[in-house]
Chain A
Amino acid sequence: MFYMYFFDFDSFWSELLWIMKFNILLSLFFTIFAIGFFIAIIWIRIYKNLRNEKKKEQHELLIEFLNSFLFDEDFEKEKEIRKFKEEHLRSSLEIKVTIKEILHFHENLKGESARELEALFSKLGLVEYILLDLKRGSWYTTARAINALSELCIVVPDHQIEIYLNDPRNEVRQQSQLYSLKLANENPLQFLNKTVRPLTTWQQIYIENALKNFYKGPPPDFSQWLDHELLSVVEFSIRMIARYNQFEHIQKLLPFIKHQSDIIRWEAINSLSSLEYTELLELIIPDFKKNSRLIKLEILEAVNKLGSHEELKRIGDQINTTDWELRIKYLNIEQGFLPDKKERIYSQFMLEKQFGI
């Protein structure tokens, strides 16, 4: 029977119940799907292994090439560069590994070797590849390309980087800011004039760090950004005035202790106190009660730094007895002013706390 059906598929199929047909088709579908899935996994694995193998090969080749290029006096540079470019920079993977490896070397070396690596990068034609990367569209490719340009100090026309200063992605903005800062001749923070997106706290730290580590020229006059339309830029400038001890701008900072934004007021008090502007206390103590807790705590800190016990006592009456955060801060500072009465202050504090005064 089966033998007959085997040769006569049409009659076999037409005589089957619909549920049987459905089951057979479903089984076939899943079998093909499972085989396809299995082949895909194997293929991806093989592809990845081959890619890793190629990466490893290129990596080893580069270590040999770069070390010879940098340290071997008998190495025929021009000829070898040409040969390397023709034979080992053909695929996108080879180019990517080469860029990564040159950056890695550059990160660890300085002096003449670093300069030679920068020259090699151009000679291998990698700058053109990086410039193409800039335009590829994905944010991580752009950020990586700008990072490579700034790491290797490769100067490109301003407009090619400026467009990324206000990119929607933080990472791209950060890299373009670093590029502008590292390659600036005069004003390293000139990019702030073109910035329309707020600086995140992390970006502010990053800029400060880059300014300290990469910029070798004279520090910029930070007061030029005190009237910037972005509060985050104003906040950053106030902080930098204190960090770079620009005492000449103290008068310009004074209006900010009355600013409507708590963050700006806090930064101004903190910076003026860092600059040891003792007249600050006369300006902030009378308004103590009107401020938020954040500012009140900073005022107490300023009194601790610049003031005396008498000035602290002027604040004491203005602190709500149940505001424990402020009370504790106040009593801690008082302990510092009156070390001989430390124990009495502490027992008074415990007593107050016990009775919830």
Chain B
Amino acid sequence: MATKEAEEVYEKKVLDRVSDAFVDALANLFDKIRPGWKVRNQARVDEWKLMFYAFNRSPIGIAGAVLVAIFIIIAIIGPWIAPFSYGTSLALCNQTAYLAHPGTVVKIPKGCEALGVKPGTYRLILGGDSFGRDLFSRILYGARTSFVVMILVLLVGPWIGVALGLISGYYGGAVDETIMRITDMFLVFPGLILAIAFSAVLPSRISIFLKDHPWVGSFFLHLFALHPTERGALASLVSVIIALWIVWWPGYARLVRGMVLSEKENTYVEAARALGVSTTSILFRHILPNILGPILVYLSLDSGGVILTEAGLSFLGVGAVPPIADWGRIIYDGSQYFPSAWWLVFFPGLAILLTVLGFNLLGDTLRDILDPRTRRSIEFRLKKKPKTKEEGEEK
């Protein structure tokens, strides 16, 4: 039904066709994994398509998605496309790249291979820093650091909160009281200070752990695209991740508890209980799917938050240790030469700004789209335009 209406109402744009193809491909994939899925979930597929139509008609959302996509692509391929490694000091190749202005051209002579640099002429697009390193390369590497920290934090921290919120909201009573008071304790401390405290305490233990389990260290080295020589600096990076887990759950516990409280008042939860459905089933089959939308929105908004916090921590000297490339660290190092070497602060700052902005724009749009009430208004608002003029012109 939904597709029929959608086709009649919307004049499809190129983006809509792309998103349609994407959704169809996804549906076919599911159908292959579980035969019959497509027939049973046709309505859901149509709903997804409709969500994409709404998204495609939100310029802000598309802008956000583009920014986020650029960030993710850079984070993944950045270390490969960077002309130099994050730690390479061009000064060692007899090139004076100390605080080089953006656009400075350097000539790398033969005999620098030991540093991992091929001979040739390079333009330092964004200039060089006080150690003679290429800022552009460091920013590309820094994207990887931020991205990995963000993913690892969001994969765990919020879900601790979601689980506690579900339990707390559904059972209520003493369980609720206990969990919520603990949550309050965490919430009254400013997150950044708590994270600093934890990242100061944790590294010694983590380095012992990493020594005992070298493969974990190697895994992280690859993840962060670091040289094996940086093995010793891993402990502080990992401790930042763990510190952020610890400070990142209370907000979610609060949020989810509130949503569970309102969701469990719905009759269908009581109806499920009357049918003899077990509590776990009710929590995971009924309540969680129904509150997943807002959680996803928060995750998206929080992605920017994690990046910002992580940058803040390294700016304060916690976490990424030199020479690891990290946006916050780059700004800290560059701030000593501000404003004469403005580019050392400006470009990494811009990178943080655009990334966080991208996640926020995306999150805001997702909120509008995942909420059925506002989605209708978006769809309505954007539908009317092609109906009157553009349709006639195109035909």
Decide if A and B are genuine partners: no
